[in-house]
A and B are shown apart, each in its own frame.
Chain A
Amino acid sequence: MEHIVIIGNGISGVTAARHIRKLSDKRITIISAETDYFFSRTALMYIYMGHMKYEHTKPYEDWFWKKNSIELKRGFVKEVKHSEKKLLFSDGDILSYDKLILAVGSKSNKFGWPGQDLDGVQGLYSFQDLQNLEHNAPNNKICRRAVIVGGGLIGIELAEMLHTRGIPVTFLVRESSFWNGVLPSGESEMINRHIKNHHIDLRLGVNLKEILADENGKARAVVVAETGEEIPCQLVGLTAGVTPNIDFLKDSGIELGRGIKVNRFLETNVPDVYAIGDCAEQHQAIGNRRPIEAVWYTGRMMGETVAQTLCGNRIEYNPGHWFNSAKFFDIEYQTYGWVNSDNRKPDYEEHFHWLHPDDTKCITVATHRDNGTFLGINTFGIRMRHEVFDKWLTEERSTDYVIEHLRKANFDPEFYKTFEKDIISAYSNQTVNA
């Protein structure tokens, strides 16, 4: 019986395993150095905040794996010997495979800052990171201030987490406005204000120069590059993005770039070795997507795709319309199609922006200047129907059409106030002006 080994028990690896099991009775082993069972990485923040316990973040009960004869192995793979189709573990164990799926995920970026490896300096990605955080910042007596470096999705989550424990947070963001490499300025600025409303000390347009140590080698302060200001703190959160977790593959012969290089079939240069999820890097970016997509949803899609390929139906990874979501403190964010930030926006992309007076809801709709085609929407504080936007994008509807039928896409709970009228009137006014 063919033995399929998957390194990594995150959403990509587990989705692949589940779908291979649905399609075949191959032997499947999932290896993880992180936890015994699959848990939802995106839910780590809720454990620290006390919304959930670790066991609630496990999407499947523990008996699920045995029942579906998916073997789980706890261990750290230190070397892939693809010539012998063998994995070597740090504890000396050896495991043979017939097909190998690398779903090894990411690690937090560190850009060579002095002091970045001190005690009390950490990222937030893995379960171990969460344990470290519980150690470094259990309360506001031990951690009297935290500094977060890097204004992305993980940074703002970490700020929210620390805030629930009454720990004052200074948030250093390199960009001139929060996440404005991705978000158009209207949205980004609204989130700036929301962050400050939560009493987070948000510093825009500043970089980390270095992290200073105390006599025990623990972080005691950070120095801001632009001002030279020294900010005393007991925790430094490094959240300036993530990068594929592929150090152990350096000499494996598997072609690497920033991630593990794969073709559209998610195959690496080595036969019978595949890579999916955060760690996979496409030779050629697909459409407007980035070559490396460190997103829950794309990991899931790649898992489903590779399962087809391994079960005799070789197909390309061919994601549909882009979508994503996040939550910034109390404001939910969803996006469908492409809405680019001001500095990445191609010439043909025009934006319509609507902001609710309460400053917690807004939308931005992107339109093709030449033909009025709807390109995408960012929505904050208003839930929208994925299915409807997916359909509209496929049908290449015009923005006029989308705005007029926006009510159909609303996914807010029943009895919620709706804003389609305001949005339509704002939209038609701007069209008249233009």
Chain B
Amino acid sequence: MDRIQRNMSLTGEPPKTLNTTQKIATLWGMIGLAILLLAGFNLDFPNKGIWLVVSLLSITGGIILFAKGAYGNELEGIKNHGVWFKSVSSRGFWGWISGIALTGFYVILYFYAEFLGLNANGENTGVIALFDPLSRILSGNPASQWFVYGTLYTIAIFAFGIKFIWKYRHNRYERIRTMSVMFFQTAFAFLIPEFMARLNASEAYNLPYYDLKSVWPLNYYLFDSYSLDGLLSSGNLGLYMLIFGVASIFIITPILTFKYGKRWYCSWVCGCGGLAETAGDPFRHLSDKSTFAWKVERWVIHSVLVFALVMTTALVSTYLGNDPNAYWLTKDVFLIGVGVFLTLLFAAIWFFKRDALKKDARYGAISYFVIIIALLGIHYGSGNDNIFLFEASTLRQWYGFLIGAIFSGVIGTGFYPIFGSRVWCRFGCPMAAILGIQQRLFSRFRITTNGGQCISCGNCSTYCEMGIDVRAYAQKGENIVRASCVGCGICSAVCPRGVLKLENGPMDDRIDANQVLLGNDVDLMTLVNKK
């Protein structure tokens, strides 16, 4: 870059500059944040309800006005101008500052909620107290740090969702998908659990917080003893909810994933996905596309899945106990059931889909299968009550700390501006791992490559939040069938030549690895495709 003189001015030039609307919007949003911050520093606002409304409206309004400034005067189309010039979206100064701020927020949220003003034995103070009025309206209870977080989370998905819709307003798939995540977050993750908490005012109910769309193993606390106790002591409703939770895993999820791929969940319903797709959208291109990262991804995410599986099995079996009179399902029956189920599943995949597994997938599958079965065997052989060598509660604690808090929260969201928006979904989420295995092996979903039209430009790979090197497939004329693809549709949107289309179709020839690069002589392609 010998002849290029880098501009050192702080304001920058187009497309980096903020226009007047965007500056006003930023100021407005910051005022909203400042109110929260002041409350956090224990400034005691009178009329908390009003200040809360002012704050939340300012944040929402600021974001929406910012979007208007960014996209309102542009013709519709892909406008990623300056994404790699702007400091916040290219791991520059502001990128690091926001990463550190977000990470700090998550550390406080998970481990030092008292700094937010949480007071279990009395009146809340600080920022949590500011949210008390809203919490009382919804659930009748004072706020907790999780209510504060849930409210801000929902606002982020809502306001950044509008920004996203504005940005991709020419793309109906993106519009509808974003409205879907906005709806599921607001209704299922936020409002319904708050309203359900009102039922607990009556003696007959003891419902735990339960976001119905959050499926095990993402929702790893579903099988905690307090959660099971709560559901089982809340009449038919509680029982139905538990049945729904189990059905989600074994019936609903496999059917929908077979028909539509994992996108029905990961980019249409899920809250983590929802935040990544909306607030995380400005950072989607920061994901690592190297084959090395892909290798790490496969080992890490499936290890988390095994961890979740072992932890939950231990937890449930401990809960059940050995007394057939307490539960018809005893610990032994349950453990044998798990063993049989996993063996059958493993055998089925091995029998039908072995050819689809690469070498390391086979090693991984075999070794994890052996480990799990061995753990079950050790348990029976030793008669030790500590299932899987550790106490179930210890496993649960470690899982909650390492995976639930550190991985999905602090790293997963806090590092958006550094690693991209889907770090958790890609490397950590055990639910995504299950859906991914199914999507890779038993699903109608694929991204179709349009004949020979690819020009290898790299927009698809760059803007893939899951770090899939989409171009590597597209330039070969091969359809993309990858476990990690969440079906966000952005590769197709940013493609300048109309090469990619997400679709559901027959399983036969889904990958179509020997696709004729059309436009070539047929005889030549026979030769080219010869192995």
Contact = CB atoms under 8 A, between A and B. Distances in A.
Task: Determine if chain A interacts with chain B.
Answer: yes
Contacts of A11: 456
Interface stretch (B55-63, B390-398, B445-453): B445-453
Interface in A379-434: 383-387, 390, 411-417
Interface in A285-308: 296-297, 300-301, 304-305, 308
A165 B15 contact: yes
Interface of B: 1-5, 7, 13-15, 75-78, 80-86, 170-173, 176, 290-291, 448, 450-453, 455-459, 461-462, 471-472, 475, 489, 492-494, 496-498, 501-503, 517-524, 527-528
A330 interface: yes
A418 B81 CA distance: 29
B451 A386 contact: yes
Interface residues on A, range: 35 or more
Contacts of A334: 453, 497-498
A104 to B, nearest CB: 19
B72 to A, nearest CB: 15
B14 A50 contact: no
Nearest to B89: A50
A134 B1 contact: yes
B473 to A, nearest CB: 11
A403 to B, nearest CB: 20
A131 B2 contact: yes
Nearest to A47: B84
A131 B4 CA distance: 7
Interface string A80-106: 000000000000000000000000000
Contacts of A387: 450-451, 518
B468 to A, nearest CB: 14
Nearest to A410: B501
B1 A411 contact: no
A57 interface: yes
B506 to A, nearest CB: 15
B7 A323 contact: no
B81 A56 contact: no
Contacts of B462: 51-52, 56
A300 B498 contact: no
A327 interface: yes
Nearest to A379: B498
Given A385-B451, A413-B492, A320 B519 contact: yes
A384 B453 CA distance: 11
A135 B3 contact: yes
Given A61-B290, A320-B520, A322-B519, A327 B497 contact: yes
Contacts of B14: 139-140, 164-166
Contacts of A257: none
A51 B81 contact: yes
Contacts of A141: 13
A318 B521 CA distance: 6
A35 interface: no
Nearest to A383: B498
A139 B13 contact: yes
Given A49-B80, A50-B81, A51-B80, A323 B453 contact: yes
Contacts of B519: 297, 301, 319-323, 386, 390
Contact of A315 (B448, B496, B502, B524): B524
B29 to A, nearest CB: 24
A198 B75 contact: yes
Contacts of A412: 501
A43 interface: yes
Nearest to A390: B518
A50 B475 contact: no
B75 A318 contact: no
B528 A304 contact: yes
B84 A53 contact: yes
A132 B2 CA distance: 9
Given A320-B520, A323-B519, 18 more contacts: A50-B83, A50-B84, A50-B85, A51-B462, A52-B457, A140-B14, A197-B75, A297-B519, A301-B519, A304-B528, A305-B521, A315-B524, A319-B520, A320-B519, A329-B75, A332-B496, A384-B498, A415-B176
B479 to A, nearest CB: 11
A326 B494 CA distance: 13
Contacts of B457: 40, 42-43, 46, 52, 57
A411 B453 CA distance: 12
A151 to B, nearest CB: 19
Given A297-B519, A320-B522, A414-B173, A383 B450 contact: yes
